Structure 1
Amino acid sequence: MTSLPEGSDQGGSTAEPRPLVCARCGTAARGGRPVTWTCSVENGVRQYFCDVCSRENLRSIEGRLDSAWW
Structure 2
Amino acid sequence: MTSPPGGSDTGASTAKPQLLVCARCGTRSEGPQPTWTCSLEHGTRHYFCDSCARENLWAIEGRLDSAWW
Residues paired across the two proteins, number: 54
* Distance (Å, rounded) in 1 between the aligned partners of 2:2 and 2:60: 43
Moved over 3 A (4+): 14-18, 59-63
1:25 paired with 2:25, answer yes
Work out the CA distance in 2 between the residues paired with 1:61 and 1:46: 18
TM-score with structure 2 length normalisation? 0.60
Q: TM-score, normalised by structure 1?
A: 0.59
- CA contact 2:38–2:48 (8 Å) conserved in 1: yes
Question: Structure 2 CA distance, aligned partners of 1:35 and 1:17?
Answer: 14
Larger radius of gyration: 2
Structure 2: which 5+ residue stretches go unaligned? 6-13, 64-69
The runs of 5 or more residues in structure 1 that have no matched partner are 64-70
Per-residue deviation, residues 4-50 of structure 1 (Å, max 9, x unmatched): 2xxx37xxxx57454111111110014x1110000000000011100
Give the aligned CA root-mean-square deviation in angstroms.
2.4
Sequence identity (%): 57
